[in-house]
Amino acid sequence: MSTRAFLRGGAALVASSALLTSGLSGPASGLSSTASGAGGAASTLRDRTPEPSPTATGSGGAVSSVDAEASRVGLQVLRHGGNAADAAVAMASALGVTEPYSAGIGGGGFFVYHDAKTREVSTIDGRETAPAGIEQDAFIDPATGEPYPFTPDLVSSGVAVGVPGTPATWEAALRDHGTWSLRKALAPSILLAAKGFRVDETFRSQTLDNAERFAAFPDTADLFLPGGDAPAVGSRFRNPDLAKTLSRLALLGPKGFYRGPVARDVARTVQRPPVAPDADLPAPAGSMTNKDLAGYRVERQAPTHSEYRGMDVYGMAPSSSGGIAVGEALNVLEGFELGSGAGLARSLHLYLEASAIAFADRAAYVGDVPDVPVETLLSQDFADSRACTIDPEQASERPVQAGALDGPGGGAGPGAAKGAACETMQHEEKPDTENVSTTHLSVVDRWGNAASYTLTIEQTGGSGITVPGRGFLLNNELTDFTAEYDPQDPNRIEPGKRPRSSMAPTIVLEDGEVRFVVGSPGGATIITTVLQVLLNRLDLGMSLPEAVAAPRASQRNTATTPAEPGFIEAYGTLLEPFGQELEPSGDAFTSQAEIGAAAAIERDAKGRLTAVAEPERRGGGTAYVVKPRKR
């Protein structure tokens, strides 16, 4: 396609995008309200989108995300005949516009899907990969012989950038499950990037938190720090370069990203990070090439599966550790009687202990390596043998040892008394750096199909490097590898490998039909957030809105447990007799003490839907249903 023809096609696509965005004329967008039906013909339908709310109940389909614009896009896709896959891709693309520090085409993610017709759950692994030229000592500073300081040196670098998987994930999701073309699904976000969105306090504060490193990269500074300051709250943020890049992807498909000028720009930027002359950042160069980009492929694999309280819990297999860790922790808790009231403190104690066990085994056995013992780690026998290490009245000494995969420590069965010592093996927990720069969306459509999709660019703002002229930030996902090479570490650096993730998009079925769709951002706290939301809902008597809003704690096999201030205030005294030590949670890039930002949907036996987003975390999310329940 010639440059002139492409520009004509791109301009036409941006213009026609308005015809696919019925209902985007809500308070926050200021966009056209003309729309197209499912067949694409223009119409003058006027859809009224409700005011943003963290909870919505009704029928006909539901969406939930951290962002009002993205949820509005998803709602309109469902209203105009799209299914859960169509809505998920459209929402994810919109999140890359309005949440550019959390997601976008410069990153990757994991997609879990339930097909209501076949009653099957499948997954797409769109995780970023290490380039073919990466070395085992890539994260070691040759000047000192020591690992680069994590922040800002390693985070803000080319060597930390993995080959993005998000564009390929969108194409795969639509090809496998969707009814819309990629061109149609991306139309709303193209218009959103071109016309802009209203800046809120969260966007401004995240920009200011990263202002110093953003300023080190001229293209990033020009886009996100115009005039040297973050965009003002209430102003309109436009990204015409991103609109053009998305238009190219929509017109040409994945080859518009993984081959040609965009791929060349990505590879050039990774190999020679464009650092300002006066910047005090080493920005180590990466080795990514055009060939690495052209060779990227998503992976389709069986989901993880466990059973809990008579329900089937599905999640992501490696390269994510989320499905295994959530499933193992639930299996450990299966044998305990949990509840609120007088048993609440003991239930929370057991939740923390089960989490520590799951993280110990995750560190020892899970990574993008051959023969991860998924079946053993998710077996009830193994969980029962791990549960025997828990003292129901006293916190364990941490770090907890990983369980042996054979013998008394693995698959010993439920016969051991609680509190007895099981045979274990020692394995040190490696740092997990995946941070709050991640987002999640949940969708259920009118037919009962469901999508649970977590996507990321790693840290808040990813690497901080914007691809010149393309309008998107590159990830720093390779920092999820262990910095120093250890041949026994399943998360060791290797060419073509995917770093271990904590993302845990989850779908729970009951009698073959969707009961819950849930996921969250938050690095390693993703696992405990998903686990705690399910525990709150299924065992502690909370409604789904209460389960999402409740204060959180995240035990990741450490001596003390990071917890939100509300959790410490509510439960700190209750947990003291169990020896559980809580400490205020925090984030390396912000002063926020929040843990996670869940987006969840519940479908009851009669098909009624409750969609829930965070009421306060990350500025509050938005949930919609197609047909709201009349009050």
406-464 confidence digits (pLDDT tens): 854 444 333 333 333 344 444 444 444 444 569 999 999 999 999 999 999 999 999 99
Q: Does any domain span residue 130?
A: yes
**Which pLDDT score, from 0 to 100, does residue 484 have?**
86
Beta bridge partners of 583: 562
561-563 vs 582-584, strand pairing mode: parallel
Query: Does a structural domain hold residue 568?
Result: no
* Whole-angstrom Cα Rg for the chain: 23
Between 525-538 and 344-365, two packed helices, what is the crossing angle to 10 degrees?
140
pLDDT attached to residue 555: 97
Could you give the CA distance from residue 551 to residue 566 in angstroms, rounded to a whole number? 5
Burial class of residue 415, CB neighbours in 10 A (0-12, 13-18, 19+): exposed
Helical axes 322-334 vs 344-365, angle rounded to 10°: 140
In the structure encoding, which two tokens stand for residue 457, read together? 């660019």
**Is 407 contained in some domain?**
no
DSSP 8-class letter at 543: -
Please enumerate in sequence order all residues whose Cβ is within 8 A of that of 384, keeping only pairs 6 or more positions apart, or say none. 331, 335, 412, 413, 414, 416
State the average pLDDT for the chain. Answer: 89
- 456 within domain boundaries: yes
Residue 342, pLDDT score? 80
CATH code at position 57: 3.60.20.40
484 falls within a domain: yes
Residue 169 lies in a domain: yes
Q: What is the mean pLDDT of each run of 10 residues along the chain (631 residues)?
A: 47 49 38 34 49 96 97 98 98 98 97 97 98 94 89 92 98 98 98 97 94 96 97 97 98 98 98 94 94 98 97 97 98 95 94 98 94 96 96 96 74 35 42 61 98 95 97 96 90 95 97 97 95 98 98 97 97 97 72 85 96 95 94 61
CB 624 within 8 A of CB 50: yes
Measure the CA–CA gap between 76 and 87, rounded to whole angstroms. 8
Residues 6+ apart with CB under 8 A from 439: 65, 66, 67, 95, 99, 102, 103, 454, 455, 456, 521, 597
Domain count, the chain: 1
Give the three-class secondary structure for 324. helix
Q: What is the distance of C-alpha 363 from the center of its chain?
A: 20
pLDDT, tens digit (0-9, with 9 covering 90-100), for 483-523:
888 999 999 999 999 999 999 999 999 999 999 999 999 98
Active site residues: 438
For 379-426, the DSSP string reads -HHHHHHHHTT-BTTBPPPSSPPEEPSSGGGSS--TTSPTTPPPPEE-
Residue 254 backbone dihedrals phi, psi, to 5 degrees: -55, -30
Query: Rounded distance, CA 243 to CA 96, Å?
Result: 11
Beta strands in 173-248 (DSSP E): 197-198, 236-237
The pLDDT, as a whole number, for residue 406 is 82
pTM here is 0.91
Look up the domain containing 20 and give its range: 1-322+427-550+586-631
Question: Any bridge partners for residue 241, and if so which?
Answer: none
> Is the residue at 367 inside a domain?
no
Q: Is residue 280 part of a domain?
A: yes
Tokens of 66: 């951290």
